[in-house]
Amino acid sequence: MTAAGFASQLLQLAIALALAPLLVGWVNQCRAWLQNKGAPSLLLPYRTIRKLFAKDAVVAEGASPIFRTMPYIVFGAMCCAAAIVPSLATDLPFARAADAIALVGLFALARIFMALAAMDIGTAFGSLGARREMFVGFLAEPALLMVLFTASLISGSTSLTTIVDTLAHRELAIYPSLAFAGVAFTMVSLAENARIPVDNPATHLELTMIHEAMILEYSARHLALIEWAAALKLFNYSCIGLALFFPIGIAAADDGWQATLGAAPLLVFKLAIGGALLALIETLSAKMRIFRAPEFLGTAFLLAVLGLLVNQLLGS
Amino acid sequence: MIPTPLQLVIAAIAAWLAIGALGLLRPRDLRFVSRLLFPAGAAVALGLAAIAAYAVGRLPQSSVLPLGLPDLPFHLRIDSLSAFFLVLLGATSTAISLFSSGYFRSSEGTAPGLVAMQYHVFLAAMALVLIADDAYVFMVAWEAMALASYFLVTTEHRLPEIRRAGLLYLVIAHVGAIAILLAFGVLQGGSGDYTFGSMRSVILPGAWSSIAFFLALTGFGAKAGILPLHVWLPEAHPAAPSPVSALMSGAMLKMAIYGLLRVAFDLLNGQLWWWGVIALTLGLVTALFGIVFAAAQSDMKRLLAYSSIENIGIIVAGIGLVILFKSYGKALLAGITLTAVLYHALNHAFYKSLLFLATGSVLHATKERSLGKLGGLIHRMPWVAWLALVGTLAIAGIPPLNGFVSEWLLLQAFLFTPSLPQTFVNMLVPIAAAALVLTAALTAYVMVKFYGVVFLGRPRESNLAYAKDAGRYERVALGLLAVGCVLLGALPVNVIAFIDPINVMLIGSSAAPRMAGSWLFLAPIDADRSSYSAPIVLVVIVGVVLLTMTIVHRLYHGRVRIAPPWDCGFPLQTPRMQDTAEGFGQPIRQVFEPFFRMQRELPTPFDSAPRYSVRVDDHWWYWIYVPIIRGAERIARAAGRIQQGRISVYLTYSFCTLLALLFFVR
Amino acid sequence: MIEILAVLGTPLAGAALLALLGERDFAATINVGVSFVTMLAAAALTVRVLVDGPLLVLDRQFFVDSFNVSLTALTAFVGFTTALFSRPYMRIEQAHGRLTAARLRLYHAMYQLFNFTMLLALTTNNMGILWVAMEAATLATVLLVSLYRTPASLEAAWKYFILCGVGIAQALFGTILLYFAAEKLLGAEGGALLWTSLNDVKGQLEPTVLSIAFVFLLVGYGTKVGLAPLHNWLPDAHAEGPTPVSAVLSGLLLNVALYAVVRCKVLVEGSLDSAFARELMMGFGLLSVVIAALLLSRQKDVKRLFAYSSIEHMGIATFAFGMGGPIANFAGLLHMTVHSLTKSAIFFTVGHAAQKAGTQLTDEIRGLVTTNPPLGWGLVLGTLAILGMPPFGVFASEFLILITAMAVQPWATPVLLAALGLAFASVFSKIQPMVFGETTAKRLPVRPTMVPVFVHLALVLMLGLWIPPFLAEWYRQAARLIG
Amino acid sequence: MTGAPLYAQLINLLAAILLLLAFAMLAQRRVLSLVNLFAAQGVALALSTAIVAFATHQPHLYGSALLTVVLKVALLPWLLHRLIRRLDVKWDVEGLINVPTTMLIGIVLVVFAFNLASPISQLASTVTRSTLGIAIASVMLSFLMMITRRKAIPQVIGFLAMENGLFFAATSATYGMPMVVELGIALDILVAMLILGVFFFQIREQFDSLDLKHLERLKE
């Protein structure tokens, strides 16, 4: 691991932490535009986080340490994920320590702790949210992994950096399997980021909540961290998508730091488009009943597997 | 002279038997049993683990005891494979014996002394299975193991369902043993020599070796709980006292895996690719089935039992993959997969024992096995709860714990399956990978359910307020196993290096140097294909979390208020409003409807005391076992007519026999 | 010489003594004493034979070789332990008012007479005397079977008597044919019925006659062995007689009958060069195993249950001898030994269990381990042993039989194993609830002795793990002899 | 068989009588006449034995002839008569199979027996070899009789008749077994008869009849 690599690693992490709330803000703004509403400020998420950090924390009675540590763990997991996914450069020392499978593992870690913490208080909503979250997760997680596998079968590697290197910096080839993977990935990331049609981040009716129901008891700094982590999650997923399907412009190991810096604006641009697309999808589709979710995610899973099969069949 | 490892292992077995015999001296003296015998047993187990660890990778040693049949005395042999499983056995049983010394109280069941006797005979039999080197001693040890565990399962024999469980277990075990005996009969290939040594040298014609393999798969599958021979497992494991469940799940199932490996790779020379395909499919079906059923359980020990079925399924699937690779001569991949399989066996031994022991403590503290009546125990029994959390995360396959490593390796093996001759197989591999991943994800679901319902939330029953945390011995035992899970997760490179001699032995090529080149990174093929470094991940995660905490606490003023939870404007909030176990499993039940055979009782709006109940049954029981039983009964009834009481009929029998024979003579 | 006279004389004298003495309190003790002396004599005889080879005495009328000496020792031993067991058992029966003093007198006398007949059948060299002894054994036990004079016991005894009588008659005809064939070679007075001399000339005996003779002998003695379809008397007799009688019937009489069959088989094998006798025995053996296994699941009476298991095991042994060859014969002998040890031990426990519960129905006996742990554990261990669970000796013999079958008669192996599996399921599912669970038992007026049970089981366990070299050598010789 | 010496012809005659008696017993329904037929069989048996003894100058056969007379002509019939009087069972009802059918089966059996015996008879050196078939036949006929009767006493008589057949086989085929054996056999028969006597009373007092249909309780 070179010093340059280390630098790009830190830079990328910093950018992820910084840009994540902005991405959320951007998506909300686009959605507001699409739905002819007055758009909130682009910086609203930052304000929310600052405000929450200033507040007094309210902790529910009978909360165990799991409840209090959860936000930190989730946040930490998301940071690690952000450090793995190559958004600017592929020269990431930490990515050698944890590959795509480990990335999914990190997401699982976050999910499990969220669910446990939600059950910790012992309210109906907490456990309901936890159940639904795990329910969504048990289909979304394998689907995501399958998507990643498709890519790694193409590139013959499970480490994201290598995948990106292969996809971005070798001769351009058309991978039909990636088409399946792309669709599947979109569906998964909608579900995983608590977006319509699976969940509704803006709802205020507990019965329809998934993600919100789990964090119902949180406040102040804990909530702030969770919101931030959620933003990071969205950011990570977007970056994964970009890395797999639009890897152009991500600096390779030997490009040096200029390329890395040069990749930054490109990333912002790609994210802006991605966010807009997300908002569009959310606007166009309606939230589905919770038990339609398995069909939705099952389809995603099957598409991903299909991608894998196609890849095997056509010998990539 | 210094004794050889084999002699020491034999000595350990003898020591266990002796300890067991001591139990007969004062069967009702609880202090004697729990303060002397079980700790002694634990010490022996520790010694055994140490010896075996030393023996891994050393040259095989064999010796012949003047026991057994005159023409077939006991042949014993220790090689890397058996040594590895001896380590597994020794390590887990060390902790479990410690736990037992705190666990067993004088109950109205079998007397503690007898329990100690059966327990140590069980251990000794398992160890003997591992060092057996001829069919006779193997069968003797195998059945002694089944017998001892049967008696342990039926310790609380006053409860009818426990008796039923024991009977089912013993009968299926016996059927399995018959299959194994037949397998040996085929393996010996007409040489008439039943030592494993000669079986190794015999070359069987293709069809016969297939028959031998599938007989072995059936026989050992019956013990391991492979579909459709799994029915005893979810009955017997909950029925047994928790340490015994832990031992059965953690160690005994691995004996079956050992037997399968021994037959498939050591005794049979030359595997056929389609065995691998069948084992792979069978294993994955078993795994999926097991975990889906685990999700639907409302008894914590049954849940764990089904999850054991799932893990065994994964292991068997791995074995199938090894066979596939080996038959195609892909030695390196076979090595990686085999490593994954053994690694997973080791992991499962640790975390499953940990969890079963934890349920044991919960059971003791609350007298309650049904998830619907537990909850909030993390406040009452913090030790058990936190140590169980480690096990939960480990079994859920969360980095950087041990469950993740083996699954990671297995997935690598799937992913880097090179294009094999059969297209069909090539198609199979991704689907298999998908099934594996799905299983892993479901495991997370099930484990969240298990942990959340038992330890988190608010107590669902009032009497839970009096639950006490586990005692000294139990804590130590649980602690040992938890530490084991963490270490196995954090130091994969060393573990793989430790396992490698078995690759050399069974596959004929070493995988470790490639996989565990640098001490830090685990890179099966080479670094830029895939690499994983558990230590770094561990350090980074912990580091980041701590960093965040410190920063936040620096910046933050740190005022905290305790308030009642948000009730959504709904005044009355009782613990019973939390998700029950059934409720938590309900989505899975709905998605995997066809897996189950359900009887649901839904309340009508007019019920004065509305009650909801659902009973989830196993299709296989009705598909396979019931018809078999019915058929046997029908035939028996027909045969019963022979003996119909009238003497002239009997005379006619003998008269006709006589005439027939005389006719036959001429 | 002396030893043989002692072995045969002691029980005969004991029978006379007990008959004359009438029923006193110490009659049972005398019974034990006599059996003990018999056992000592048998031990002496055994040593003698071991030291200086086969014994042919009393102008060749008695012949003891390693084959029958092992059975003689076994018979004397089990006879002793059974007497030991029957002492408290019969006391309890008397206390429960099922037996009167007069009946006990009959019982003791007949018990010794029965021992005598069996020892005679084992040691005699004369096929005719063998037949006479077998018939006498039947007669002696008929009265024991009907000892309770209940309708059921009378019916059982009647069937036992008629069926075995007829069977034995066939055996007599077989013997006559044997004599007929041998006479031409050996002359009327040339000891044409002496097994040894027959054995010497077996090569020249007329095949057609011998094959017909063997059919009669097999049907005849096979009836007493309990080979299907000639077995119908066996369950009734075992279930309705007093338990000590069931124990000796199962443990000893069947062995002796099988011994007779094997002796005849040796001769026939010698004269025929076809596999006729072997196939016949294998067929009967297999058929018995299958039928017994099937019927086991239908039993409600515990003693009947184990009677059927005796049929099964005799079938296995017959099958083994049918296969022939050193290993199979060795296994067959071993199987006879362990079976009689285990089965008698089981009957000891079952007897007391039935007394405790006041019934022989499996559904009404419960929770033995809680009321009387030694009894319960004895029963469950014995059952597991008889079902062929390692590490008990029955498994050792069955293992040997099975591996021979795999080599010689592969087709038979799955059948045997399936039958064994079925038997396991049906027997154990009936015994487990008797042993475990809530109890339904009353106290016994006299404390039962569990020593014989555990001595037997210990021996069986030992034979499963380690067969003493001298015993092994002994069985090897016998196996060679049987050929 | 002309040309054969007189005693041979006599023996063959007696053998024929024996067979005839066997058939008669098969057909006979009255218990008392059954006993008489049995006694008559005994007489024929004793005669034939004596003739064989005379013909072949084998003294010990006289002994067995005497034994036969004592046991099967005198003692057993007498015992049976007493039993029947004491238990007063005069009638044996219809057998399980009606008489003509029984007869037909009997004839088939005889044919079978002769076929079976013929190869053996070829080998026999004795003057009386041709009677072996008849011996087997009478054994089988008494077997058949035991099967068809449904009362205790006729069944027992069938049993004794079977012994007769065996004994005849012994004498005719092989000039008799060694004396020890014959004594043993005789003793056994006697004891058997006594035990049976005891049985009759026990059965009687249990079921107050000797009908075997009471003895069909134990099944499976």
Are the C-beta atoms of residues A8 and A92 closer than 8 Å to each other? yes
Q: Nearest CA to D26 among D165, D164, D115, D155?
A: D155
Both tokens of residue C121? 């059948």
CB pairs under 8 A between B and D: 38
Lowest mean pLDDT among B261-265, B413-417, B477-481: B413-417
C308, C343, C354, C427, D214 from C386: Cα distances, Å: 12, 7, 19, 10, 35
Q: Please determine, for residue D163, whether its predicted confidence score (pLDDT) is greater than 50.
A: yes
Neighbouring residues of C113: CB distance < 8 A, sequence distance ≥ 6: C11, C12, C15, C136, C140
Both tokens of residue B527? 């670094």
Question: Any alpha helices (H) in chain D, and if so which ranges?
Answer: 6-27, 31-56, 59-68, 76-87, 99-123, 132-148, 152-174, 179-207
Is C205's Cβ below 8 Å from some Cβ in D?
Answer: no
pLDDT band at D2 (very low <50, low <70, confident <90, very high): very low
pLDDT band at A295 (very low <50, low <70, confident <90, very high): confident
Distance from CA of A77 to the nearest CA of B (A): 7
C-chain CB neighbours of B166 within 8 Å are 432
Are the C-beta atoms of residues D217 and B645 closer than 8 Å to each other? yes
Give the Cα separation of B574 and B459 in Å (integer): 10
Give the Cα separation of A290 and A312 in Å (integer): 34
pLDDT band at C332 (very low <50, low <70, confident <90, very high): very high
Give the Cα separation of C295 and C304 in Å (integer): 10
pLDDT band at A259 (very low <50, low <70, confident <90, very high): confident
Please report all neighbours of D, defined by 3+ CB atom pairs within 8 A.
B, C
D58-71: per-residue pLDDT in tens?
A: 888 888 888 889 88
Could C152 and D218 be called an inter-chain contact, meaning their C-beta atoms sit closer than 8 Å?
yes
B562-568 mean pLDDT: 81
Residue A188 dihedral angles phi and psi, to the nearest 5°: -60, -45
Give the Cα separation of D71 and A21 in Å (integer): 120
The overall average pLDDT reported for chain A is 86
At residue B397, the 3 state secondary structure works out as coil
3-state helix, strand, coil in chain B (%, to 5): 70, 5, 20
C233-257 mean pLDDT: 94
A-chain CB neighbours of B411 within 8 Å are 101, 158
Partnered with residue A60 across adjacent β-strands are: B563
Bridging pattern class, strands B61-69 and B72-78: antiparallel
At residue C85, the 3 state secondary structure works out as helix
At residue C298, the 3 state secondary structure works out as coil
Q: What is the DSSP letter of B249?
A: I
- Per-residue pLDDT, C264: 93
- Per-residue pLDDT, C331: 95
Give the Cα separation of C419 and D1 in Å (integer): 57
Both tokens of residue B326? 């080996």
Give the Cα separation of B137 and B51 in Å (integer): 22
C326-342 mean pLDDT: 95
Give the Cα separation of C7 and C118 in Å (integer): 11
A19-74: per-residue pLDDT in tens?
A: 899 999 999 899 899 988 888 888 899 999 988 888 888 888 888 899 989 999 99
CA angle C10, C11, C16 (to 5 degrees): 100
Bridging pattern class, strands B560-563 and A57-60: parallel
Partnered with residue B77 across adjacent β-strands are: B62
Q: What is the DSSP letter of B595?
A: G
Give the Cα separation of C483 and C479 in Å (integer): 6
C298-312 mean pLDDT: 94
D80-119: per-residue pLDDT in tens?
A: 888 888 887 766 666 777 888 888 999 999 999 988 888 8
C125-138 mean pLDDT: 93
- State the DSSP H helix or E strand holding residue A276, giving kind and residue range, or none if neither: helix A257-284
- Per-residue pLDDT, B638: 92
B31-53 mean pLDDT: 93
Give the Cα separation of B120 and B247 in Å (integer): 11
D179-190 mean pLDDT: 83
How far, rounded to the nearest angstrom, does the alpha carbon of residue D44 sit from its chain's CA centroid?
11
A210, B377, B586, C99, C416 from B451: Cα distances, Å: 20, 10, 17, 65, 49
pLDDT band at C217 (very low <50, low <70, confident <90, very high): very high
Could C402 and B68 be called an inter-chain contact, meaning their C-beta atoms sit closer than 8 Å?
no
Q: Please determine, for residue A1, whether its predicted confidence score (pLDDT) is greater than 70.
A: no
Give the Cα separation of C123 and B111 in Å (integer): 48
Partnered with residue C301 across adjacent β-strands are: C361
Q: Which of B651, B654, B663, B664 to mutate to test the interface with D (most CBs of D within 10 A)?
A: B651
pLDDT band at C119 (very low <50, low <70, confident <90, very high): very high
The interface predicted TM-score (ipTM) is 0.91
Residues 629-648 of B with CB under 8 A from C: 632-633, 635-637, 639-640, 642-643, 647
Half-sphere exposure of B291 (CA within 13 A, CB side): 27
- Say if C and A touch: at least 3 Cβ pairs within 8 Å: no
- Per-residue pLDDT, A316: 44
Are the C-beta atoms of residues C335 and C313 closer than 8 Å to each other? yes
Is B529's Cβ below 8 Å from some Cβ in A?
Answer: yes
Q: What is the DSSP letter of C416?
A: H
- Per-residue pLDDT, B439: 93
Both tokens of residue A141? 């997680």
At residue B300, the 3 state secondary structure works out as helix
CB pairs under 8 A between A and B: 249
The length of chain C, given as a count of residues: 483
Lowest mean pLDDT among A193-202, C57-66, C244-253: A193-202
Give the Cα separation of C408 and C321 in Å (integer): 13
Is B664's Cβ below 8 Å from some Cβ in D?
Answer: no
Please state whether the predicted TM-score (pTM) of the whole model is above 0.90. yes
A77-112: per-residue pLDDT in tens?
A: 999 999 888 888 887 878 888 888 999 999 999 999
Could B452 and A159 be called an inter-chain contact, meaning their C-beta atoms sit closer than 8 Å?
no
Both tokens of residue C335? 């199987």
Lowest mean pLDDT among A212-216, C223-227, C277-281, D78-82: A212-216
The overall average pLDDT reported for chain B is 89
- Among B643, B655, B662, the residue with its CB nearest the CB of D143 is B655
Helix axes A65-84, B534-555, angle to 10 degrees: 120
Cα dihedral sign, B531-B537-B538-B540: positive
CA angle A98, A102, A103 (to 5 degrees): 95
Question: Any alpha helices (H) in D57-128, and if so which ranges?
Answer: 59-68, 76-87, 99-123
Is B656's Cβ below 8 Å from some Cβ in D?
Answer: no
Bridging pattern class, strands B613-618 and B596-601: antiparallel
Are the C-beta atoms of residues C140 and C18 closer than 8 Å to each other? no
Q: Which residue in this structure is represented by tokens 């040796």?
A: C266
Residues 47-76 of B with CB under 8 A from C: 66-71
A239, B538, C67 from C222: Cα distances, Å: 86, 76, 19
Neighbours of C323 (CB within 10 A): 23
Nearest chain C residue to B661, by CA: C215
Cα dihedral sign, D12-D14-D15-D20: positive
Q: Which of A49, A127, A313 to mutate to test the interface with B (most CBs of B within 10 A)?
A: A127
At residue A229, the 3 state secondary structure works out as helix
Are the C-beta atoms of residues A146 and B437 closer than 8 Å to each other? yes
Distance from CA of B377 to the nearest CA of A (A): 10
Higher pLDDT, A157 or B124: B124
Buried b / exposed e along C10-28 (16+ C-beta atoms within 10 A): bbbebbebbeeeebeeebb
Is B18's Cβ below 8 Å from some Cβ in A?
Answer: no
Both tokens of residue B475? 């804590």
Q: What is the DSSP letter of A22?
A: H
Nearest chain B residue to A96, by CA: B531
Give the Cα separation of C320 and B574 in Å (integer): 71
Please report all neighbours of C, defined by 3+ CB atom pairs within 8 A.
B, D
Q: What is the DSSP letter of B575?
A: G
- Per-residue pLDDT, D1: 42
At residue B643, the 3 state secondary structure works out as coil
Q: Nearest CA to C121 among C195, C232, C216?
A: C195
Give the Cα separation of C243 and C448 in Å (integer): 13
Residues 140-179 of B with CB under 8 A from C: 140-144, 147, 154, 157-158, 160, 163, 166-167, 170-171, 174-175, 178
Give the Cα separation of A195 and A297 in Å (integer): 13
At residue C150, the 3 state secondary structure works out as coil
- Among C280, C294, C466, the residue with its CB nearest the CB of B636 is C294
- Among C158, C167, C437, the residue with its CB nearest the CB of B157 is C437
B-chain CB neighbours of D212 within 8 Å are 646-648
Peptide bond into B421 cis (omega under 30): no
DSSP sequence for C1-62: -HHHHHHHHHHHHHHHHHHHH-S-TTHHHHHHHHHHHHHHHHHHHHHHHHHH--EEETTTTE
Is C158's Cβ below 8 Å from some Cβ in D?
Answer: yes
pLDDT band at B165 (very low <50, low <70, confident <90, very high): very high
Distance from CA of C452 to the nearest CA of D (A): 31
Are the C-beta atoms of residues C441 and C17 closer than 8 Å to each other? no
